[in-house]
Amino acid sequence: MPAVYDVYTRRLAMQRTQIYLSEPERQGLLALAQRSGRSQSALIREAIDRFLENKQPEERLARLRQGRGLWAAGPGPLDGLKLRQELDRIPPEGG
């Protein structure tokens, strides 16, 4: 799965569209945009991309199969530094 920041740099053309939001949805989106410093449009695109990705069963199944047996021998010793480095590579949600 490409990182969220990669997804938007690869777009070639976008089509303008309108959506209707309830007042709580609109307020929540506005607050999230202000906190994250991202546009409401970027947040909506990210949410749609994630929704569509989760709705594609063959891709989800392939990702699940990649993880098959991952913990078969047990989790092994925990390397805190390695885990922290791996987590630092993942962009924060909404950020």
Looking at residue 10, its pLDDT comes to 54
Tens digits of pLDDT across the chain (95 residues): 444 444 455 555 778 889 999 999 999 999 999 999 999 999 999 999 888 887 777 777 787 788 777 767 776 666 777 777 777 777 766 65
Looking at residue 33, its pLDDT comes to 95
Looking at residue 62, its pLDDT comes to 81
Looking at residue 28, its pLDDT comes to 96
| pTM of this structure | 0.49
Those residues whose C-beta lies under 8 Å from the C-beta of residue 3, and which sit 6 or more positions away, are: 90, 91
**13: exposed, middle or buried (C-beta count within 10 Å: 0-12, 13-18, 19+)?**
exposed
Looking at residue 37, its pLDDT comes to 94
Judge contact between 36 and 43, C-beta under 8 A.
yes
